[in-house]
Amino acid sequence: MALPGLRGTEHIGFTVPDLDEAEAFFVDVIGCERVYSLGPFERDDDWMAEHLGVHPRSIMRELRFFRCGHGPNFEIFQWEPADGQAPQPRNSDIGGHHLAFYVDDLDAAVAFLHERGVRVLGEPTASRNASEGQRWVYFLSPWGMQLELVSFPNGKAYEASSSVRLWDPRDPAA
């Protein structure tokens, strides 16, 4: 059984320490477009705890929606949590995550990040096994969020034997 009516990922939401810094990064470096913003949201009842799983007196200062090429939208939040904030999780932590952006030319994109002073972690890596044909590299936002560039202009090895394909930003409607 699948979730009835599932079409795909509509947006990915994440919290940042400074919305203006995050917007500058996602617009000026990544190339996203800001669409709209909402907020602030503050409640005197238990709505925040019941609906969002946060301390009921936490304040969501603002949220902003961005479109970033093909794929899901981004919803970026800035919070004032009433019970403190945990540090940015690493990939190895529960809840650890990263956002991966497909680019046509990985080397040109990495050079662009270096020119913009973005911290790139290591050199591009060639994948093996089912992902052979793909190259990738991690980089960090100004606040330490983990991001990745990926490129596989000629596809990945798994495609030769699999009847199911991963969604591919090179052909978004497929």
CB 134 within 8 Å of CB 116: no
One digit per residue, the tens of pLDDT, for the chain of length 174 reads 789 898 889 999 999 999 999 999 999 999 999 999 999 999 999 999 999 999 999 999 999 999 999 889 999 999 999 999 888 898 899 999 999 999 999 999 999 999 999 999 999 999 999 999 999 999 999 999 999 999 999 999 999 999 999 999 998 888
Predicted pLDDT of residue 60: 96
119: number of Cβ within 10 Å: 12
**Three-state SS across the chain?**
CCCCCCCCCCEEEEECCCHHHHHHHHHHHHCCEEEEEECCECCCCCHHHHHHCCCCCCEEEEEEEEECCCCCEEEEEEEECCCCCCCCCCCCCCCCCCEEEECCCHHHHHHHHHHCCCCEEEEEEECCHHHCCCEEEEEECCCCCEEEEEECCCCCHHHHCCCCCCCCCCCCCC
Instruction: Give the position of tokens 């991963």.
Output: 166
Residue 71's pLDDT is 86
Report the pLDDT value the prediction gives residue 45, as an integer from 0 to 100.
Answer: 97
Rounded-to-integer distance, Cα 14 and Cα 77, Å: 6
Cβ-contact 137, 149 below 8 angstroms = yes
